[in-house]
A and B are shown apart, each in its own frame.
Chain A
């Protein structure tokens, strides 16, 4: 009963976040435009590099374009998480939020997943249509689709833990933005944003598998363009492990951070 009540409370938060995201149609239009440019450019790039029927280390042009469609849809599914947490911490608003009958981190997680569900779905739809028009539909199988969906959700959880941990650094440092920039570059490189990590030189491939970033972009996109169950089990295990580790770290950071809050009445 208690758990059901909690679920209702946080799912209402997620629903509100999803509805408010839908109101920003101009921003969504602009993002779709950018997405179309990226896919258009990469379709040309892969066409030039590997031709229509060739392959690059076993990947066809169609697979590489659809891989990028997935990774970009996920990456462009940006949320207001960092900005919200930073503002709460810097303005001191967090002191009031802590007094509410909500767990602050769970509230942020619910809000984040609500926003993510809308932005990522719309990105997938828009990007999918552009990719379809540019290069045609890939041979999608139901298992690939299911694997990709599961890994997108797990990757989103890993991403939430990382982003929230970065935003909560505002408790300890004046400016947490530079850490976000590092994060975004690590997604670009070790997350395999543009090309599958399998194509990297050995040393970078190994490094990528040791870090959580590949769970966010590479793992779901790789599953979509032709993953197998063995790889899926391995990717799921890795993502779950990172979720647990990072959630623990986040919780520790939060508990240390709130000890630094000074409330002045008035």
Chain B
């Protein structure tokens, strides 16, 4: 069996174990999923009120907001379901819990990321898919392109989170600030790209690259151009290269916590 096929089988087995763990607490899982969905729907309330008062926000109307939220929530759900530890790396590093993964014959980063699944994100996934469909229909956009951008949004969030969480290799206990930095990309992604001008535009494109999560994808969905697609894909590649380089550099500095960890 090829290495790729072996890894795919291993990943499927890992996600299946994660699902079994979640199903042990069915009520909790369902409650969280439903409330996550309600939470997402209520987030639209603000934009609905605002767009009752003004016709648009720098050219963005309600359909653009649907696409933006669809990409943000859908992208988040992709990474939370497939790589649920993406925003807990800093805790795992600073508490010395990487020891467990280092002793196993799998890629350390991939193994850590997929060891957890946040099933409450199923609510976000449903929300993202429905809003994407509504937005695409209203603007005449391509739903397949929306799905591609949903995947790149999740990938971007994951890579950026690896960068911020890897700070723990260099600065020790930095969970709070790592988490806030990683969440900044989500926060910036949930507002129309047109409100960020000048220096703010530079920040959301190159420092906290939310522009490639929702802003450029929404513009590209509205007025299709292949440049937008390539920009998003290139930004993903660059962010992942940086993330992997920082994680590898950090891993060389990692010191065992000599901690005995029990994993269920």
Contact B177 A33 (CB under 8 A): yes
User: Number of B residues contacting the other chain (C-beta, 8 Å)?
Assistant: 33
Interface residues of A: mostly helix, strand, loop or mixed? helix
* Stretch of B13-21, B50-58, B63-71, B153-161 at the chain-chain interface: B50-58
* A38 in the interface (beta carbon within 8 A): yes
B35, B174, B194: most-surrounded residue (chain A CB, <10 A): B35
**Chain B residues within 8 Å of A195, by CB:** 46, 49-50
> Contacts A45-B195, A195-B50, A199-B49; is A175 near B28 (CB within 8 Å)?
yes
Instruction: Say yes or no for A172: interface residue by CB 8 A criterion.
Output: no
Contact (A40, B49) CB under 8 Å given A26-B177, A45-B191 = no
Q: Which of A100-108, A142-150, A156-164, A181-189 contacts B (4 or more CB under 8 A)?
A: A181-189
**Is B7's beta carbon under 8 Å from chain A?**
no
Q: How far is the CA of A49 from the CA of B45 in the complex (A)?
A: 17
Among B104-112, B179-187, B253-261, the stretch that binds chain A is: B179-187
A178 cross-chain contacts in B, Cβ below 8 A: 31, 35
Instruction: List chain A residues, Cβ under 8 A from B177.
Output: 26, 29-30, 33
- A182: chain B residues within 8 A (beta carbon): 35
Write the nearest CB–CB distance from B95 to chain A, whole angstroms. 15
Which of the listed residues B173, B180, B183, B196 has the most CB atoms from chain A within 10 Å of its own CB? B180
Give Cα distance in the complex from A92 to B173, angstroms. 32
Set A27, A40, A50, A181: member contacting B176, Cβ < 8 A: A27
Inter-subunit contact A181/B46 (CB<8 Å): no
Q: Are A34 and B53 in contact (CB under 8 A)?
A: no
CB proximity to A under 8 Å, residues B71-125: none
- B191 touches which one: A31, A33, A41 (CB < 8 A)? A41
User: A207 on the interface (CB 8 Å rule)?
Assistant: no
Q: Indicate if B149 sits at the interface (CB-CB under 8 A).
A: no
Selected contact of A181 from candidates B39, B54, B57, B183, CB within 8 Å: B39
Given the contacts A188-B42, A201-B52, A41 and B57 also touching, CB distance less than 8 Å: no
Q: Tell me whether A56 and B54 are in contact (CB under 8 A).
A: yes
**Complex: A188 Cα to B176 Cα, angstroms:** 23
B5 within 8 A of A: no
Q: How far is the CA of A189 from the CA of B58 in the complex (A)?
A: 24
Task: Return the chain B residue nearest A50 by Cβ.
Answer: B54
Q: Given A30-B176, A178-B35: A49 and B187 within 8 A (CB)?
A: no
Instruction: Please determine whether A37 and B187 come into contact, CB atoms closer than 8 angstroms.
Output: yes
Are B53 and A41 touching (Cβ within 8 A)? no
Find chain A residues with CB under 8 A from B35 CB.
Answer: 178, 181-182
CB distance from A194 to the nearest CB of B (A): 5
Interface residue B212 (Cβ < 8 Å from any Cβ of A): no
Q: Once bound together, how far apart are the Cα atoms of A37 and B28, in whole Å? A: 32
Q: A interface vs B, CB < 8 Å? A: 26-27, 29-31, 33-34, 37-38, 40-41, 44-45, 47-50, 56-57, 175, 178, 181-182, 185, 188-189, 194-195, 199-201, 204
Given A33-B180, A47-B195, A49-B50, 8 extra CB contacts under 8 A: A26-B177, A34-B184, A38-B187, A44-B200, A45-B191, A45-B195, A181-B39, A195-B46
**What are 17 sample pairs from A and B whose C-beta atoms fall under 8 A apart?**
A30-B177, A30-B179, A34-B183, A37-B187, A41-B195, A44-B197, A45-B57, A48-B58, A48-B192, A49-B57, A178-B31, A182-B35, A185-B38, A188-B42, A189-B45, A195-B49, A204-B49
In order of increasing CB-CB distance, the 10 nearest A-B pairs are: A30-B176, A44-B195, A30-B180, A48-B195, A48-B58, A45-B195, A185-B42, A26-B176, A33-B180, A181-B35
